[in-house]
Amino acid sequence: MKNILYRLWKHLDKRPYASSFLRSIHKYLSTKLIKQGKIDTFYPLLKKYKINQAAVLPSYKKFFCLQLFENVLETLVVGSSHGVYGYWAEEKFHEINACGISQDLYYSYEIYKKYADAPRLKNIVIFYSVFSPGFVLEISYPALCDAYYYFYEIPYRFRGKTENNDTKEAFSLFVSRIKRYPDFHYIGNTPSPNIKNLTIEPQKRAKDHLKGNKRNENQTAYIMQAAKLAKEKGHHLYIVIPPGRSDYTSHLPSFEELFAELLKLEDQVKILNFFRDERFSDSDFSDTDHLNEHGAKKLSAFIRKEMK
């Protein structure tokens, strides 16, 4: 019965309502499904302010878990979707996966900076991918930056302090309700089934990522800033180059060419290279370059072995 209600709600939610009767049904189902935990408590806010649910809810949950567990945090993991699906945090190690979809090195560094004074923090893991040298989130997906601005108070790079009052009000309501979030057990892990059915051509994927690799945006400078901060705080910084499926990496240049910028910092930062690591098979991936849960647990174990 619960699944039938959810399917009906989802059907109505995707369509303009033809009558007040259908609107009332949708409202009733929304209330009922929120109580059942089938849809998020904040769904009405997202709908009211036309905020992208996929962009906001993961950021909110990760921000919230950092707020809750800051005092016991020992390992902070930041980076793009390769980290979202590539690192499987474990509570017993006091880890939080704060990676985000399309998170660039600027935002990775800024999240680290925000929590750099966490009393037990000692390990920082930053995922660094093929596209990282030239990928800028605010240029490619500016809407995703709102979550970082309103939750983490990370300033925009190009928009200055321009604010949308409706968006600000919506995010303020999220933040004000942090302490009301019930029974929160979350350390940032994101299972991969929601991406495994995507059809991605390996050659096209490699070509798209190479565009970011070749752009002159100097994103790697944020690795240097992170290294400087880690030295000041006495933290251990690990830069992780994640693995890729063989049909993806076969369309890419040599490791030395792809990561030339990062390799210039090799004597200043600890680089963990898993890019064409033969310990990973194609069965460890959900698509061309994102690990599945099994692959993520394998990579996480390898990274932990390198930690001091």
Let me know whether 17 and 89 are in one domain.
Answer: no
Angle (CA) 143-65-146 rounded to 5° is 15
Residue 45 maps to a domain: no
Q: What CATH number corresponds to the domain at position 254?
A: 3.40.50.1110
Give the residue numbers spanning the domain of 209.
55-306
Residue 222 is assigned to a structural domain of this protein = yes
Q: Is 49 domain-assigned?
A: no
Query: Which residues of the chain fall below pLDDT 70?
Result: 1-3, 5-23, 25-55, 160-167, 170, 173-185, 192-199
194 part of a folded domain = yes
Distance in angstroms (rounded) separating the CA atoms of residues 7 and 10: 5
Total domains in the chain come to 2
Clarify whether residues 286 and 212 are in a common domain.
yes
| Same domain (yes/no): 69, 211 | yes
Residues 34 and 109 in one domain: no
CA 224 to chain CA centroid, nearest Å: 21
Alpha-carbon distance values, 44 to 5, 51, 147 (Å): 17, 10, 17
pLDDT in the model for residue 68: 83
171 and 22, same structural domain?
Answer: no
Cβ(245)–Cβ(287) under 8 Å? yes
Its pTM surpasses 0.85: no
| DSSP state, residue 291 | B
Decide if 171 contacts 275 (C-beta within 8 A).
Answer: no
Task: Indicate whether 50 belongs to any domain.
Answer: no
Distance CA 194, CA 303 (A): 25
- pLDDT digits over 140-194, tens only? 888 788 888 888 989 988 876 555 666 677 677 666 655 455 445 678 887 765 4
Q: Are residues 277 and 220 in the same domain?
A: yes
**Are 22 and 105 in the same domain?**
no
Contact in structure between 87 and 303 (CB atoms under 8 Å): yes
pLDDT at 183: 46
Whether 143 and 12 share a structural domain: no
Does residue 95 lie within any of the structural domains? yes
Q: Does a structural domain hold residue 62?
A: yes
Cα–Cα distance for residue pair 203/65, rounded to 1 Å = 37
